[in-house]
A and B are shown apart, each in its own frame.
Chain A
């Protein structure tokens, strides 16, 4: 069964460093998303991406964040200068696009980011 994969599973970084979290969405999916979950808190939407551009972003997704689909398979989230409060589990998700309908989002296993 196709699945969303994410690498690395755990990333440890120093405050102020740049990190790139990688995701490989399901191959025939066209919509891509990033969410984060701070330990013990709820899952929060960060950004959605379609047709090589951001379609929606939350107030959390400030100028320190960027997303990219550098090739036909990867979808990345970059945090330019990490802060302690960026420590969280980051989930990638993808969904198949069908005009006029909403679709199930398939989630990856997550990357745990620890900022020291």
Chain B
């Protein structure tokens, strides 16, 4: 698998349900970040979690990081139709400095 690989590739849920997306990576990281991309638009930063942190919250978003398993999860609670987008995890590798490696993304569809 590639560095920063999300699963599932696509997720379809009903409004109000929770959505969980996972990201796995292969090498040591400084931090891991989650981004959202609405179709054809730019990337919007959601959350940054550092390698010494285990969990972070921001509004309806909850991110966990397990460095022993080299994995992270993004949970969106009480999803809304406006959450429909692609979600990417990006890992900042500790030997590359500030350059990110993006996964292929999870396409989330929230149905009204």
Interface size class of A (residues with CB under 8 A): 20 to 34
A102-B99 contact given A107-B43, A107-B45, A110-B41, CB 8 Å threshold: no
In A36-75, the 8 Å CB interface with B consists of: 41-45, 48, 55-56
Name the residue on B nearest A46 (C-beta): B99
Residues of A within 8 A of B98 (CB): 31, 33, 48, 95, 102-103, 105
A residues in contact (CB < 8 Å) with B: 31, 33, 35, 41-45, 48, 55-56, 89, 91, 93, 95, 102-110, 112
Q: Is the interface of B mostly helix, strand, loop or mixed?
A: strand
Q: Is the CB of B99 within 8 A of A56?
A: yes
12 sample A-B contacts, Cβ–Cβ < 8 Å, listed by A number: A33-B98, A45-B99, A45-B100, A45-B102, A48-B98, A55-B97, A91-B43, A102-B97, A107-B43, A107-B44, A110-B41, A110-B42
State in angstroms the CA–CA spacing of A43 and B41 once bound together: 12
